[in-house]
Structure 1
Amino acid sequence: MHVLILGGTTEARQLAGLLHGTPGLTLTSSLAGRVASPRLPPGEVRVGGFGGAEGMAAWLRAHAVHLLIDATHPFAGTISFHAASAAASAHVPLLALRRPGWVPVEGDVWHEAGSLEEAARLLPGLGRRVFLTTGRMGLATFADLDELWFLVRSVDAPEPPHPARMEILLDRGPFDLDGERELLRRHRVDVVVTKDSGGTATAPKLTAAREAGLPVIVVRRPQAPDGVPVVADPEAAARWVAERH
């Protein structure tokens, strides 16, 4: 049995670790290639796109894939729709592995936004020193906010266009609470912007912001394909594979 994991997330690597070495199972993880030095999962790894849904369907057929697992980032929306279309075309069962989103608790000062553009519109009314943790790919959205200062945390250095008043922090999670508290204090952050990525690796910033009474703009997740079964953790995904293996 050949299992293809669309990965790049912590959960995808954990799932690959659970499945790797299973007798009679061939495992391939596919990474988008957007990070220069990704953390590689065990097993075979391919890097790069498929050429849309049709290209992915052709790859599934050519490599005799029996099961497809979409364990991509919750904000990698396009690949999820491609996966749903390709799986249907190639008649390959598809499972989505999605970490649960964050839920506000008492003391949180959250402002929900439906997009990065909406987050940029909200920012000037909430603060002047911004901790921006939405990744390097969407910085152009904030490039015209010249009156604001940004602390941008990213795995790889961003390319223009980006905000003029900006400090880059190259780092990769998981992050701890003490470190996030110190980061907010040292940089005098007064507003945080984040995507609803979910999980625990980057959640401490939310606790640190709550303790400091800071507003947080939370960008909601994009729509996911309908009709695809979803599990919340790698163990459940591994059981789904085992049941079919």
Structure 2
Amino acid sequence: MRPFSFKKASLLNVPLLKTSAFALTVLVSSALIAGDGLKYEVANFSQGDLVDWEEKSFEGNSQYQFVSVQKAGIKSDKLKGDKQVLQASTDGQASGLFKEVSIDLTKTPYINWSWQVQSLFKGNDEHSKKGDDYPARIYVVVSGGVFFWNTKAINYVWSSNQPQGSEWPNAFTGNAKMLAVRSGEKQLGQWVQERRNVREDLKRFFGEDVKKIDAIAVMIDGDNTGQAATAYFGDIYFSD
């Protein structure tokens, strides 16, 4: 098992693949569903399912728990009958939930998720190590295999202050890229659905046609700012 070589950029020291055969597809509880198109489920938070998810701590433990949509105060027809969501909270802690999963980007290149952020961090420079905190982020990770230093990651973040749509290198490593899918207070407290073409994002960031990813993670972290924040995550799936 080889650890990651950089900090929160891609979950430092997380053993992404637990076998020496890095090409081996990890068997998980996800389901490939054919209907109007392909849909590969990786996070069934609406069902209270954290099977195969593990927590990685950097500075204390962020709080992750399932709460009812009603208790969370979420009012959105976009949840389509879902009764619970994953609540993520921090008060100066930093930990993330990750899941080993092999996704074939030639078949299902789009990641789909929904989230809601309740509060932002104030005064942090997200381009710096001291300001590398986000009220919500979702990682997609490409393993470097035995060359673990080649591990790559994209962080899809809800930025506190960077312009929506902006991109920048992670403060700790050039092998992780940050993308502000949402930013600031404009949709704060609203349930928002997202869709990104991971294959195209990886190609743009790294100049490579990456055909599969090896892990996914969700995180809320406030260890650098010492501030508090709360976010909610809905189901996550890949599609064509």
Fold match (TM-score > 0.5): no
- Higher RCO, Cα 8 Å, sep 6+: 2
- TM-score normalized with structure 1 length: 0.26
Pick the structure with greater CA Rg: 1
Larger proportion of helix: 1
Q: TM-score, length-normalised on structure 2?
A: 0.26
